[in-house]
Amino acid sequence: MKGKIVAFQGEHGAYSEIAAKKLFPESKPVPMKLFQDIFDALRDNNIDFAVVPIENSIEGSVNEIYDLLLGTEKKITGELFLRINHCLIALENNSTITRVLSHPQALAQCRNYIKKRNFDPVPTYDTAGSVRIIKEKKIVDAGAIASKNAAEFYDMKILEENIEDRKNNFTRFLVLSDQNTNSTKNDRTSMIFGLKHTPGTLFSVIQEFNAAKINLTKIESRPTKERPWEYNFYLDLEGHINEDNVKRTLNKIEKKCTFLKVLGSYKRGTIS
């Protein structure tokens, strides 16, 4: 993938950049401040690939990504599960830290650590961006929660490593592009669908997957934002859209839905 433009949200040293480098080792990932910026760049074909977080094993889903997936024409073409090791990072070795800056997800993943040390949590737009803020503003009474890579990139001090509350802390990242994928016999398919707001409609859809012996790995609802208390459903299943069993089952399900959008079929990710 040499020469291809790969975008991630955040600053250099962000976990998204780490994931992008693992997925595209020959590329030089490009940082973008907002998730919306990434999806706009995808739409305008200004980038070739995007690497975005979709869920964390401790704190759950990144809801904004689910909402943005509904509107994009690009497909999910890959995934990666990245082990998250948070560090406490500061300008220098000192004991005057009273607050910690980081992305809300990272702050939540270190909730007990922060409480134990009586730090005030300060949400920011990015983990690595927090390191940058402290560096540029020369803030001596604050630390950042971010990756070791971020500390190295900004030449900051790591005061403590592995400060996340739970050690089984992984984030799942998706790759978005307009590439086509072929079945590898070890695939996942993601989709969004809507249903009539009547009893038994969701059960009827799940029943079709059960009859076809298709394993579902995730299902989640998100508000439609059009009518109160009505939802779209995001679903992951084992299999590729080109496989006859999957294709046949989705054809049956589509007749029961108000809409069905396949977000992509892609090789299942490994833990990295």
Range of the domain at 134: 87-161
Residue 2 has pLDDT above 70, yes or no: no
Helix (H, G, I), strand (E, B) or coil at 203: helix
**Stretch 56-82: mean pLDDT, rounded?**
95
Q: Which two tokens stand for residue 58?
A: 């401790």
CATH number at residue 63: 3.40.190.10
d(CA 110, CA 155): 23
> pLDDT by residue (tens digit) across 168-195?
999 999 999 999 999 999 999 999 999 9
171 is catalytic: yes
Residue 129 in any domain: the answer is: yes
The mean per-residue pLDDT over the stretch 149-173 comes to 95
Using pLDDT thresholds of 50, 70 and 90, give the confidence band for residue 147: very high
- Tell me if 91 is assigned to some domain: yes
- For residue range 78-130, what is the model confidence (pLDDT) as tens digits? 999 999 999 999 998 777 899 999 999 999 999 999 999 999 999 999 999 99
Instruction: Give the phi and the psi of residue 73 in degrees, each rounded to 5.
Output: -95, -10
* Dist. CA 158–CA 131, nearest whole Å: 11
pLDDT band at 51 (very low <50, low <70, confident <90, very high): very high
d(CA 206, CA 216): 9
- Cα separation, 18 vs 29, in Å, equals 9
d(CA 227, CA 5): 38
Which residue is catalytic, options 173, 193, 209, 233?
173
Contact 154, 214 (CB under 8 A): no
Beta pairing partners, 8: 31, 51
Q: What is the pLDDT of residues 199-250, one digit of tens each?
A: 899 999 999 999 999 999 999 999 998 888 889 999 999 999 999 999 999 9
Is residue 24 among the annotated active site residues? no
Q: Which residue is catalytic, options 171, 181, 189, 249? A: 171
Nearest to 255 by CA among 201, 200, 191: 201
The last residue of a domain, from among 119, 144, 177: 177
Asked if 101 and 69 sit in the same domain, the reply is: no
What's the number of domains the chain is made of? 3
Q: What is the pLDDT of residue 1?
A: 56
- Consecutive H or E run containing 111: helix 111-116
